[in-house]
Chain A
Amino acid sequence: LRVPKRYRHPALEERLSRRRTAQEARSLLRCRRAGIPAPVVYFVDYVTNSIYLEDIVDSVTVQDHIYSVQKSGDDTSSFHKLAEKMGELLARMHDEDIIHGDLTTANLLLRPPTEKLDLVLIDFGLSFISGLPEDKGVDLYVLEKAFISTHPDTEMMFQALLKSYAATSKKSGPVIKKLDEVRLRGRKRSMIG
């Protein structure tokens, strides 16, 4: 039984403008209604632009999880399953036309117990709604770069993630294509500007 914490953990810094706050709240609601795990919104304060969110108790970030498994020399084959689940989750998110905007392994939480691979997406501060494959491709590219820079020796992971993404998303073709294009360009910008 997960007891909802009362109004704790303002998850948002005050420098965010009202529009960003509204966008984040909107994305969070949109995720939840589509069954995509994201924290519950308890209260939105438009005066300080803070969002009070559910506290995912005793969770670890995927980032920390990868570190600790690698550090302890544990079997990294579990990473494959984790990557698959990540790919699946992101595919579902993108199919709802939700662009996260800041995909990193620090913005993906694992609920306890970690072995269950129960993922929760957090930090939608830069999120927006878009159906464009370019935006989705960039979203994935950001994650890929984050993977490469933060987690050495995880190339297979991202591959597995993409495979799972492609298998789950109905619209993945154009997205992967755009991802390839963005990789070639080496930047995360849309040429449409």
Chain B
Amino acid sequence: MGNCVVNHWFSVLFLFCSRTLRKQLDHNLTFHKLVAYMICLHTAIHIIAHLFNFDRYSRSRQATDGSLASILSSLSHDEKKGGSWLNPIQFRNTTVEYVTFTSIAGLTGVIMTIALILMVTSATEFIRRSYFEVFWYTHHLFIFYILGLGIHGIGGIVRGQTEESINEGHPHKCAESFEMWYDHDSHCRRPEFEGQPPESWKWILAPVILYICERILRFYRSQQKVVITKVVMHPSKVLELQMNKRGFSMEVGQYIFVNCPSISLLEWHPFTLTSAPEEDFFSIHIRAAGDWTENLIRAFEQQYSPIPRIEVDGPFGTASEDVFQYEVAVLVGAGIGVTPFASILKSIWYKFQCANHNLKTKKIYFYWICRETGAFSWFNDLLTSLEQEMEKLGKVGFLNYRLFLTGWDSNIVGHAALNFDKATDILTGLKQKTSFGRPMWDNEFSTIATSHPKSVVGVFLCGPRTLAKSLRKCCHRYSSLDPRKVQFYFNKENF
């Protein structure tokens, strides 16, 4: 039964994935999944071991051949003698199924395993991505799992020989001479067994307390009033909410969890903050991408009904805060992944406005890759103002940004070719012309490497996995072997 210990240890680690620890959500999730797989594996081993064990007990109880097994089985269940029994199957006609369903350990075991299986089948990637609510609500079965785990061992079915009995008659000495145990003059006495005390509660107590504390904290934070100061409806179904909350302070690129009780009581969804810390409000941009977001946008579109109440938990940290640690930063945002960079760029704008010249970052390359620009027209305004700001301050070279439109057709390209001579881009109105298709990272990286031969360049991506792979490869390829020359460091976020 040693693997129960391992099983319990994993449950402990499982619960340690709490969000109050300042780690990236993505790392937590990977760890959670890993521990879940281990729990499933060990549960399987545990159950199979018990199945063999119970079958042996059952056979021993049925055995009439006076073997060691049958004598051990016949040790009495009589409470008067202290209940020093070994075999939990009391009578010859008791089935293992009966014992399973009438003992605490068996019953809790069955309930826990079924809860675990339901949690796992509703948590497969396909179900999670397509029907998130099924996953979310079913996963709350973990409450039954943890409760069951706590009381699983109370019955003391797993028995060991008492110390006293071991001193009197050690199995090494007495196992062979079991026919003589009942003789008064033999060296060995009948062995006595007692139940092992339940131990699982010791392993899960600390994490459960931590988790309960975190839930209480989340509840407390959610009860604090959130004032919505501005609601902006952008084209392509993007909703911007500007809010205020007492005592709320953020860093660039952090995210918050948002709950809207009128839409769903239990669901909390993460959104990156798109405002800068220097502003006196915090904002999020929400794109319609599923049931909850569509309902939220619809609720806010109603002109004549009162604004729904919003609860906010956070902010939680991500790697974006590291952007300002690098002399040269390469920011790549794909689609909706541009949001953390919105916060960073806004923050830079404010820093420039306050003439904060202590910025370590000297140059930023920003790549924005999206399928259609309509979805991000809100970001255009930001880039336009940044352009003007840079010109005013004479720091045109600081921010070098390029937009890539991957969902182009011949009509769009035709337009662009016709308006080639115009100073601003016809699609976005920005000075920088939009490029079509995907960036050629090799060219980009080699240009950056040659322009900054001695710098440490931080590469930040918020986008799909395939893009992360190619960027990581480029980082390795273009980092120079000499540590004093250009080095590319890759940082990835995943939402």
Q: Are A and B co-members of a single complex?
A: no
Chain A residues near B (Cβ < 8 Å):
none
Chain B residues near A (Cβ < 8 Å):
none
